[in-house]
Amino acid sequence: MEIQQLKVFLAVAEELHFGRAAQRLHMAQPPVSRMVRQLEGDVGTDLFVRSTRSVQLTAAGTALVESAREIIAAAERAKATALAAGRGEVGSLSLAYAGASTHLLVGVLAREVRKVHPGIEMSLNSQDFALPALARVLRGDVDVSLGRWDFVPAGVNSRIIVEEHLMLAVPASHPLAERSEVLMNELAGETFVALPPHEGSVLSDRMRRLSIGAGFDPDIVQRAPDSWTAMALVGAEVGCSLTVSSVAENVVDPHVRFLKVVDETLPIYLRMAWRKDAVNPALPPVLSLAEEVWPGCD
């Protein structure tokens, strides 16, 4: 039983006339009659009662009509799904992102993908830090990662989403809390809350560079596992914390104030990264959509 046989059968069943069915199908009448007889041979019974004056469905033919329609519709859906998958309009895409600074951006993209490409399922993976997220792209564990990296390895494409500023988070009770800006040399003698000094950490690098330039070693009294915890510790008056502008925009805590660090330093970029040799067909449409919702600053 073939799809084309079922299409021919339905045309004859609906027209109850082999000639009109052939015209509708843009076929000659003999192939139409032949395909119906082949189908009858496949199912093992007559589907039509033929006479010189009329064509009528048999009980078996009547029973086959709805099933034939369902089979044809299912085949067309399968074809459409396969074509959509080939164009990247259906499938899945995994994205890794780090912490408090990116969750709003990720939400914007995920909602837009769901609206524009409902056949693409996004898997969102929160990471504590950016470097592990980049490593997951290199291993092929995820399709896209968001993070701050001063260096992106060969084999990885990246695009700048946001250029960020260094910010100092201080308790609301701190003498500097009413200020909008601060210089690093004003922070000698302060206690600091910092993220772990893992390899490739942009904030650890900027803290080291700026404190050396200002002539002091920062007094780090506690390490926080992530930015959310760091900001909570600042609010608890444990110490100050060097962070970035997107954290200041995403964290709302009445016990924390944010000051822009105005010392000249290396720029900080939030990037999205993906493998150059990625073959996931869902990746190009998501990257294209990301350019619309995250215009960037390249």
Residue among 84, 100, 188, 211 at smallest CA distance from 146: 100
* The domain boundary residue, chosen from 21, 54, 86: 86
**Given this model, what pLDDT does residue 52 score?**
81
Residue at 190 is within a domain: yes
From CA 37, how far away is CA 51, in angstroms rounded? Answer: 15
Note the pLDDT tens digit of each residue in 13-59: 999 999 999 999 999 999 999 999 999 999 999 999 998 888 999 99
**Given this model, what pLDDT does residue 181 score?**
97
Q: Which domain holds residue 22?
A: 3-86
Q: Quick one: 65 and 117 in the same domain?
A: no
Note the pLDDT tens digit of each residue in 144-189: 999 888 888 889 999 999 899 999 999 999 999 999 999 999 999 9
From CA 200, how far away is CA 152, in angstroms rounded? Answer: 10
From CA 85, how far away is CA 87, in angstroms rounded? Answer: 5
Residue 294 DSSP class: S
The domain that contains 39 carries what CATH number? 1.10.10.10
Q: Quick one: 200 and 135 in the same domain?
A: no
Q: Quick one: 96 and 64 in the same domain?
A: no
Q: Position of tokens 């009662």?
A: 49
Domain count, the chain: 3
Residue at 137 is within a domain: yes
The whole-number average pLDDT for the span 66-83 is 83
Q: In the structure encoding, which two tokens stand for residue 167, read together?
A: 């910010």
From CA 234, how far away is CA 251, in angstroms rounded? Answer: 12
Q: What percent of the chain has pLDDT over 70?
A: 94
Contacts of 262 (CB under 8 A, 6+ apart): 181, 182, 183
* The domain boundary residue, chosen from 86, 112, 140: 86
The domain that contains 207 carries what CATH number? 3.40.190.10
Give the DSSP letter string of 163-179.
EE-EEEEEETTSTTTT-
To the nearest 10 degrees (0 to 180), the angle between helices 3-15 and 18-25 is: 130
Q: Quick one: 277 and 134 in the same domain?
A: yes
Report the range of poorest mean pLDDT among 112-116, 126-130, 177-181: 126-130
Residue at 298 is within a domain: no
In the predicted model, what is the mean pLDDT of the chain?
89
